[in-house]
Chain A
Amino acid sequence: MTEALTLRDVDRRFGGLKAVDSVSMTVSEGEIFGIIGPNGAGKTTLFNLISGNVSTMSGAIELYGRRIERMPVHRRARLGLGRTFQTSQLFAGVTVHENLEIAEVSSRRGVGGWLGSPTARRTVEAERVDLEAWDLADKGERLAGELTLFEQQRLALAMTLAAGARVLLLDEPSGGLVESEVHQLMELIRGIRDRGVTVLVIDHKMRLMMQLCDRIMVMALGAVITTGDPTEIAADARVRELYFGRAPVRGVERNERTGGPDPADAHTWRAGPTS
């Protein structure tokens, strides 16, 4: 199977803090790859290293066999790396339609890609289909900042695909969503995968991760604890220790913002994934 994304011994320190400590991993094309771990484990930093928002100190990152760890953010994006952010993930002051237009324009190349017109290639029909697919059909002329959180999430996903993402990094996509929306989100992410896109996802909602992911990597204190399919992860003693015992969690035990692992999800750990 094709390797979409490979990390070898990737390191990142902040001062004396090893935020990402010699992480190696391989994600295959078309896989949904989950990353879990306590607050401060280094998950977001790992995404930042892959997308280029934070630079590596050593180690190699390959996107479809191509070394990218020295490239600027926009070049990685043009090679097919897409990501969403935990906050301010849209162009809030312009319309939904313009958000999609920007996303699509930003991936165009050559002289036409610069001096051509935004509407030259993107037809009204193509956009209508796109908006319908994301259930945003009647929202085209609304300001993106006025959408509900879930609508914003969907628009952000639509934009990454419009920009040509082949490997997608999703950082806590379920944040702030209600239960029914989390379920729909899961279906949307599966739909994205079915289009051939590889998905890496960080999330604190265990039930979601257990059902959604093909494989899950567990991180703590910047290092990889283990990687396996959801059943293996749920059964792993070290993982259970990390989440339910006195685990070596840096700083506060529970993050105020995310609330840490949801205790309500705890049963999924014992029972394994329910489907």
Chain B
Amino acid sequence: MSDLPPARNGLASGWGPGRIASLAVLLAAILAPVVLGSGYQLDLLSLVLINAMFLFALDLAYGQAGLAAVGHGAFLGIGTYVVGILAVKAGWPFWAAMPIAILVCAAAGLLMGLITLRLAGHYFVIASLALAIAVGLVVSAWQDLTGGALGLGLVPRPAGVGPVSFEAPSAFYWLLLAATLLVMLVCWSLRRSNVGTRLRSIRENPRLASALGVNIVLTRLLVLVISAALAGFAGAFQSTYLGFITPSVLASNVGFYALMALIIGGQRSFVGAVIGAAFFVLVPVLLQFSSALSPVFFGLALVVVILLAPDGVWGRLRALGRWVATRTRAARGGSSARLEPGQERSLP
């Protein structure tokens, strides 16, 4: 047993419930337009993808770096408006405006991090919220540029690449899916890199981490910048998805609800973030008859999750999956009923 190298490599650690669920979700996501057609449901699913990108980004800041980014919606909103303004006012194509949105958000994240990350944690929370409110105010006030409360339109769909056009809802949906997978890949690589290892050490024991040489401020700053950039990327897609942009995309509570949704879905997990994104998009839709109910429902769901499933919905499901796997293995008379510790960690 001890002769075997430990299975630490995510790819080598077999078929846990996480991997199976991820593949099932991916397959369902690819086939969705075929099954659903191109109506309202595909529209909602597209919105889920955009918010999944945003929650992946948010999870880097919150789940991985431990930053209570309650105002992270600001970066999503900035990305949305940068692409909107460049497209509508200056006639820029999406593919040129999107990198600018990423850069602007990264710069905003850098500035915010430089100011707050050296200070105690609650300064970051306040700054995050302040940024979200300030950006909303600026957009409402700067009417010439943003259209103010009247909004801004129309942001065209991204131009086609070669023979591929993104005008059709299904084609645009697949583009969003590709973008979502790209964001996932960035987050996954980061988590598996030395940055991910440092983040884990900071979460576990910050005093020991810095005694071993981990620069906590710099590590968090790097992750915040990447997270803000990815949120801007998601915002760029939100811009072309909406077509018509109003300041509601910058409501200061967007980040707050997104954070709740992430915790409900399950932080530090891609599947959890997708569940959170679905929750985030679908709850207001399902409770359409009374918009006042939606915040109440969010709050209740959060309380229930925190009490019954501190790792979120996905954390609970995964534990259930492990339990079932253990039972079936034991029933088959396998010698080791216990899962390798490495297996649990390497799940997506």
Which range contains the number of B residues in contact with the other chain? 20 to 34
Report how far A163 CA is from B6 CA in the complex, Å.
21
The verdict on A159 contacting B193 (CB below 8 Å), with A92-B204, A94-B204, A141-B341 known, is no
Q: Identify which of residues 80-104 in chain A touch chain B, using a CB-to-CB cut-off of 8 Å.
A: 82-83, 85, 88-95, 97-98, 101-103
Q: Out of B5, B210, B213, which one reaches A164, CB within 8 Å?
A: B213
- Contact: B198 with A106, CB < 8 Å? yes
Min CB distance A27 to B, Å, is 19
Please give me the residue from chain B that is nearest to A137 by CB atom: B2
Q: Identify which of residues 219-260 in chain B touch chain A, using a CB-to-CB cut-off of 8 Å.
A: 222
The verdict on A95 contacting B194 (CB below 8 Å), with A102-B201, A106-B209 known, is no
Min CB distance A119 to B, Å, is 7
Total A-B residue contacts, Cβ distance less than 8 Å: 102
Q: Out of A74, A82, A114, A143, which one reaches B216, CB within 8 Å?
A: A74
Min CB distance A129 to B, Å, is 13
Report how far A94 CA is from B344 CA in the complex, Å.
12
In the bound complex, residues from chain A placing their C-beta under 8 Å from that of B216 are 74
The verdict on A105 contacting B340 (CB below 8 Å), with A73-B210, A163-B213 known, is no
Quick check: is B342 within 8 A (CB to CB) of the other chain? yes
Which range contains the number of A residues in contact with the other chain? 35 or more
Report how far A140 CA is from B214 CA in the complex, Å.
23
Quick check: is A53 within 8 A (CB to CB) of the other chain? yes
Report how far A103 CA is from B9 CA in the complex, Å.
18
- Contact: A91 with B213, CB < 8 Å? no
- Contact: B212 with A77, CB < 8 Å? yes
Please give me the residue from chain B that is nearest to A108 by CB atom: B194
The verdict on A105 contacting B211 (CB below 8 Å), with A92-B204, A93-B204, A114-B222 known, is no
The verdict on A90 contacting B208 (CB below 8 Å), with A115-B194, A117-B194 known, is yes
- Contact: A102 with B212, CB < 8 Å? yes
- Contact: A141 with B6, CB < 8 Å? yes
- Contact: B207 with A116, CB < 8 Å? no
Q: Identify which of residues 33-87 in chain A touch chain B, using a CB-to-CB cut-off of 8 Å.
A: 51, 53, 72-75, 77-78, 82-83, 85
- Contact: B212 with A159, CB < 8 Å? yes
Q: Out of A73, A97, A105, A163, which one reaches B8, CB within 8 Å?
A: A97
Min CB distance A53 to B, Å, is 7
In the bound complex, residues from chain A placing their C-beta under 8 Å from that of B2 are 137-138, 140
Quick check: is A124 within 8 A (CB to CB) of the other chain? yes
In the bound complex, residues from chain B placing their C-beta under 8 Å from that of A53 are 207, 211
In the bound complex, residues from chain B placing their C-beta under 8 Å from that of A117 are 192-194
Min CB distance B176 to A, Å, is 27
Min CB distance B303 to A, Å, is 25
- Contact: A94 with B200, CB < 8 Å? yes
- Contact: B213 with A78, CB < 8 Å? yes
Please give me the residue from chain B that is nearest to A162 by CB atom: B212
Report how far A170 CA is from B175 CA in the complex, Å.
56
Report how far A90 CA is from B102 CA in the complex, Å.
38
- Contact: B210 with A72, CB < 8 Å? yes
- Contact: A77 with B210, CB < 8 Å? yes
The verdict on A105 contacting B208 (CB below 8 Å), with A97-B8, A124-B5 known, is no
Report how far A78 CA is from B209 CA in the complex, Å.
12
In the bound complex, residues from chain A placing their C-beta under 8 Å from that of B6 are 97, 124, 140-141
- Contact: B194 with A113, CB < 8 Å? yes
Report how far A94 CA is from B341 CA in the complex, Å.
9
Quick check: is B291 within 8 A (CB to CB) of the other chain? no
Min CB distance B37 to A, Å, is 42
- Contact: B212 with A163, CB < 8 Å? yes
Report how far A118 CA is from B208 CA in the complex, Å.
18
Q: Out of B208, B222, B342, which one reaches A91, CB within 8 Å?
A: B208
- Contact: B8 with A119, CB < 8 Å? yes
- Contact: A91 with B194, CB < 8 Å? no
Min CB distance B170 to A, Å, is 36
Quick check: is A107 within 8 A (CB to CB) of the other chain? yes
Please name 15 pairs of A and B residues whose Cβ atoms are closer than 8 Å in the assembled complex, sorted by A: A51-B211, A77-B210, A77-B212, A93-B204, A97-B6, A101-B197, A102-B198, A102-B201, A106-B212, A108-B194, A114-B193, A118-B194, A118-B197, A119-B9, A141-B341
A73-B210, A95-B341 provided; 18 other pairs, C-beta below 8 A?
A53-B207, A74-B213, A74-B216, A82-B212, A90-B205, A93-B204, A98-B200, A101-B197, A103-B212, A106-B213, A114-B193, A115-B194, A116-B193, A124-B5, A124-B6, A137-B2, A141-B340, A159-B212
Q: Which 3 pairs show the lowest CB-CB distances between chains A and B?
A: A77-B213, A91-B204, A106-B212
| Residues on A facing B (Cβ under 8 Å) | 51, 53, 72-75, 77-78, 82-83, 85, 88-95, 97-98, 101-103, 105-108, 113-119, 124, 137-138, 140-141, 143, 159-160, 163-164
